[in-house]
């Protein structure tokens, strides 16, 4: 395994989309085209299955240096009201040109720190959304909670609107690691937040754990996993720290790369953690995600309904995902659009009745085929090109590049298809790379992505 780690530890996307953001064709994109493709897809999806809604709430009271999300650090809570007003205005602009009340199938509040907002303001946000939208009968509603500031009032307020899933960022319980990433968070806080979520009626409580953090040792990961198992969350995201200080700015420059575990140490952290989770009854779901057999994500994976997008892994799929708020990305399946990242610019555009989009991509026929292959691999660890709809001209060259991964036991070719082996699952990003034609044709001269291992 050590030899494979050294061989395949290369920069690569995490494939929450295809094409990945650095390879969006921005010259061929326009706000007019985005609105046209979004409206057409929305009208189709809204009638059939509804749409998903992602809302980015960017404020945090302190900077977690491991985080790559768009955020604004402040202790001034007067920012809450104008931001919610702006998000609701953005939704109103979309509503005005699609001409129908959205049917919401999924809602996810991300950040930043959604629980930076008071329960009163979160209620105002959700009320504002459903004043002009309908909730689908089986609407899934979830949010990201910070264990240090998520209160029972937060949980109960959101539960009253139908929120049943919460995910807490745990990362690691070791004090040295917590100081390095500026996330001081005792186990007692996580235990309280987890217990209160269940008390409030949440049916799925998730914990996020990261390996490969600065100063993190194998014993730290083992201790964190063991403590996590005591609380028995329904889902666990156990993923690799993405060290990209050239993209994320000064936050990740607070420690040297020499302070990070080596690729071999990271892989050992993952393998040991994965084994502990398996012994506790967790099943691997997609890349770096685990769930109990009682959780909806497990059932979705078993029934091959699991989906992956900018919100991560989901138990159901909608063709349209509308992202609201600074930096949020929307997905119409046929196109992507990302909002501006500056809050003042976001406010200014909305005040002038302009959608706050600053870049995007209209998918080509080839993009749509590649997107489906990568989605198949990331969600089901297999894909097929048996039908003409999934065959593309460069597939023979892609299969040649995959031969080496087959020789290393990471995948098996089947009749007009392939399957990632158990040994190959930690390398699924590497399996996707040959399919990524936009990356293959435009190899970056500088690093754009984190390492795959």
The proportion of the chain whose per-residue pLDDT surpasses 70, expressed as a percent, equals: 96
pLDDT score, position 247: 52
pLDDT score, position 252: 47
Residue 416, domain member (yes or no)? yes
- Confidence at 3, pLDDT banded by 50, 70, 90: confident
Q: How many CB atoms lie within 10 A of CB 80?
A: 19
- What distance in Å separates the CA atoms of residue 437 and residue 303, rounded to the nearest whole number? 29
pLDDT score, position 250: 46
**Position with higher pLDDT, 450 vs 415:** 415
Residue 26 has pLDDT above 80, yes or no: yes
| Total domain count, the chain | 2
Residue 272 has pLDDT above 70, yes or no: yes
Considering the domain architecture, whether residues 232 and 358 belong to the same structural domain is answered as: yes
pLDDT score, position 448: 64
The proportion of the chain whose per-residue pLDDT surpasses 90, expressed as a percent, equals: 81
Provide the domain limits for residue 77.
23-362
Last residue of one domain, picked from the residues 319, 343, 362: 362
Binding-site residues, in ranges, read 54, 60, 64, 66-68, 111-113, 144, 171, 183, 208, 242, 329
Binding-site residues for [4Fe-4S] cluster, in ranges, read 60, 64, 67
Residue 129 has pLDDT above 90, yes or no: yes
Q: What is the pLDDT of residues 176-186, one digit of tens each?
A: 999 999 999 99
Last residue of one domain, picked from the residues 338, 362, 386: 362
429-437 average pLDDT score: 96
Q: Torsion angle, CA of 304/310/312/313, rounded to 10 degrees? A: -10
Q: What is the mean pLDDT of the chain?
A: 92
Last residue of one domain, picked from the residues 341, 362, 383: 362
pTM score: 0.93
Q: Which of 7-11, 271-275, 331-335, 443-447 has the lowest mean pLDDT?
A: 443-447
- Confidence at 242, pLDDT banded by 50, 70, 90: confident
Residue 449, domain member (yes or no)? no
**Position with higher pLDDT, 68 vs 117:** 117
- Confidence at 1, pLDDT banded by 50, 70, 90: low
284-292 average pLDDT score: 91
**Position with higher pLDDT, 317 vs 372:** 372
Considering the domain architecture, whether residues 371 and 334 belong to the same structural domain is answered as: no
CATH of the domain at 433: 1.10.10.920
- Confidence at 237, pLDDT banded by 50, 70, 90: very high
Residue 111 has pLDDT above 60, yes or no: yes
- What distance in Å separates the CA atoms of residue 430 and residue 22, rounded to the nearest whole number? 18
Binding-site residues for S-adenosyl-L-methionine, in ranges, read 54, 66-68, 111-113, 144, 171, 183, 208, 242, 329
Residue 17, domain member (yes or no)? no
What count of residues does the chain have? 453
- Confidence at 446, pLDDT banded by 50, 70, 90: low
């Amino acid at each position: 395994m050590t030899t494979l780690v050294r061989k395949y530890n290369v920069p690569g996307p995490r494939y929450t989309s295809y094409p990945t953001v650095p390879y969006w064709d921005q010259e061929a994109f326009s706000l007019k085209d985005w609105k046209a493709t979004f409206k057409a897809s929305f009208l189709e999806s809204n009638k059939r299955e509804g749409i998903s809604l992602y809302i980015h709430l960017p404020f945090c009271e302190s900077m977690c240096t491991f985080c790559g999300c768009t955020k604004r650090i402040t202790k001034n809570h007067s920012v809450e009201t104008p931001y919610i007003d702006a998000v609701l205005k953005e939704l109103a602009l979309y509503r005005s040109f699609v001409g129908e009340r959205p049917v919401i199938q999924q809602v996810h509040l991300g950040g930043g720190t959604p629980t930076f907002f008071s329960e009163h303001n979160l209620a105002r946000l959700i009320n504002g959304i459903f004043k002009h939208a309908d909730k689908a009968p089986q609407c899934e509603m979830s949010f990201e909670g910070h264990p240090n500031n998520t209160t029972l009032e937060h949980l109960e307020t959101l539960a009253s609107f139908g929120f049943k899933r919460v995910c807490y960022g745990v990362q690691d319980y070791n004090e040295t690691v917590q100081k390095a990433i500026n996330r001081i968070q005792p186990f007692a806080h996580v235990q309280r937040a987890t217990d209160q979520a269940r008390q409030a009626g949440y049916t799925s409580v998730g914990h996020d754990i990261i390996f490969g953090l600065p100063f993190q040792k194998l014993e730290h990961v083992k201790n964190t996993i063991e403590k996590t198992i005591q609380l028995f969350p329904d889902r666990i995201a156990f993923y690799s720290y993405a060290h990209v200080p050239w993209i994320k700015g000064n936050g990740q420059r607070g420690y040297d790369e020499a302070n990070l575990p080596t690729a071999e140490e990271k892989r050992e952290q993952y393998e040991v953690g994965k084994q502990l989770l398996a012994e506790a009854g967790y099943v691997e779901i997609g890349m770096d995600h685990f769930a109990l057999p009682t959780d909806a994500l497990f059932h979705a994976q078993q029934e091959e309904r699991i989906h992956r997008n900018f919100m991560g892994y989901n138990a159901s799929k909608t063709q349209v995902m509308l992202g609201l708020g600074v930096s949020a990305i929307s997905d119409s399946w046929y196109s992507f659009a990302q909002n501006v990242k500056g809050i003042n610019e976001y406010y200014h555009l909305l005040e002038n009745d302009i959608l706050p989009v600053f870049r995007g991509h209209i998918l080509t026929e080839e993009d749509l085929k590649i997107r489906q292959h990568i989605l198949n691999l990331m969600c089901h660890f297999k894909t097929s090109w048996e039908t003409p709809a999934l065959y593309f001209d460069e597939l023979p060259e892609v299969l040649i590049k995959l031969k080496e991964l087959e020789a290393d036991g990471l995948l098996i070719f089947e009749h007009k298809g392939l399957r990632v082996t158990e040994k190959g699952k930690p390398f699924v990003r590497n399996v996707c790379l040959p399919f990524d034609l936009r990356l293959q044709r435009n190899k970056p001269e500088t690093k754009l992505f984190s390492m795959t291992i």
